[in-house]
Structure 1
């Protein structure tokens, strides 16, 4: 396999460039005959930090992405997509902060019933996943966020979500309200999140 650090960097670059989806360090290593790639990934991250594309880690998976300050150059004029309803945004925020969580638990935190379509939209978007069943009577399905959720919101891990102390310092005891600002950057009624189904939540 590769002998020089430069050779390994080039091999890691090529592997990530050709990959159809983000890869873990173990998957990259497997492509390269078991080579140790952790230090190389750190080195490449630093090397690409000021370039037009960056190497980033999201949820333990690595991929190249357009530098954030250049994203506007790649946008194309198109019809404004429909947005996620407030109910869907609330549900997504609750899953992010409390996962794994059941539909009943989401409803308890929101204080209102959650339409089945709300969770279906988030599942279809790939931002939440079914994470098993709660070992209680009825064995309800529980939900958790996905690596795609982290990638979409630019989070390396859920640890990057604001902590409870930060929320209290901001005067927000309920993390769901702060999550609207963190996850969407929008105001009430305009979440800024695209609804992949093209429809609104019928909550």
Structure 2
């Protein structure tokens, strides 16, 4: 390992939070960003067979436990918290369309979105307030966080699965009921369920 790679390794080991290649270059003084990126790739390759890995999440680099060894470090019982259907829909809309306002989320979903649903996602650390839309009323807009990418094992939003991948994994099934309801409304048939879905935050 050359001197720059060793310096990059030491800086990331001592860092309190993940760092970008640009931040590392500035921290190390006269290092070029391109050289730092090459050093990062070199260090990441060196750590591939080890118990910890150097990974990039949302253009920021940090060390983490090798995925196949994570079970050895768990000493507490995990509590599974399932998101409500509303929260799952909102998270997906933000991930694929960010930055989006609450009104835009509601337009895509077709129902109102409660503030509690957004609060749950922010408390989980998966979305954040990304500013305000420069339109009348200046509504708040939301975007995903690096923690969202890390939790779902994504390097960037470009790694989000497409429709074909979601269908192949069965995540879009079953859709028959929703399709039949939609077609029934389109043809004017009776029996469509007009009950509005609930966004009660207590569902989460």
TM-score bracket relative to the smaller structure: 0.7 to 0.9
- In the alignment, the residues of structure 2 paired with residue 171 and residue 54 of structure 1 have an alpha-carbon distance, to the nearest angstrom, of 28
2:29 paired with 1:33: yes
Question: What's the CA shift string for 1:129-187, capped at 9, x where partnerless?
Answer: 112222333222111111221122111110000134545x7499xxxx65xxxxxxxxx
Q: CA RMSD in A?
A: 2.3
Distance apart, 1:89 and its partner CA: 1.9
- Answer whether contact 1:84 1:201 (CA < 8 A) is retained: no
- In the alignment, the residues of structure 1 paired with residue 20 and residue 78 of structure 2 have an alpha-carbon distance, to the nearest angstrom, of 35
Unaligned stretches of 5+ in structure 1?
179-199
User: Which residue in 1 is equivalent to 2:95?
Assistant: 96
Task: Tell me the SS of whatever aligns to 2:2.
Answer: helix
User: Which residue in 1 is equivalent to 2:57?
Assistant: 58
- Answer whether contact 1:133 1:141 (CA < 8 A) is retained: yes
Task: Tell me the SS of whatever aligns to 1:144.
Answer: strand
2:201 paired with 1:201: yes
Question: What's the CA shift string for 1:43-79, capped at 9, x where partnerless?
Answer: 1111111211110000000000111111111112326
Alignment of 1:52-201 (within 5 A): 52-78=51-77, 80-164=79-163, 166-167=165-166, 170=168, 201=201
- In the alignment, the residues of structure 1 paired with residue 81 and residue 160 of structure 2 have an alpha-carbon distance, to the nearest angstrom, of 26
- Structure 1 residues 74 and 102, CA, compared in 2 at 3 Å: closer, same or farther? same
- In the alignment, the residues of structure 1 paired with residue 18 and residue 26 of structure 2 have an alpha-carbon distance, to the nearest angstrom, of 14
Task: Tell me the SS of whatever aligns to 1:70.
Answer: helix
Unaligned stretches of 5+ in structure 2?
173-199
Q: Which has the higher contact order (CA 8 A, sep 6+)?
A: 1
- In the alignment, the residues of structure 2 paired with residue 79 and residue 119 of structure 1 have an alpha-carbon distance, to the nearest angstrom, of 23
Distance apart, 1:126 and its partner CA: 2.3
Runs (4 or more) in structure 1 with deviation over 6 Å come to none
- Structure 1 residues 20 and 101, CA, compared in 2 at 3 Å: closer, same or farther? same
- In the alignment, the residues of structure 1 paired with residue 26 and residue 105 of structure 2 have an alpha-carbon distance, to the nearest angstrom, of 39
Q: Which 10-residue stretch deviates more, 123-132 or 40-49?
A: 123-132
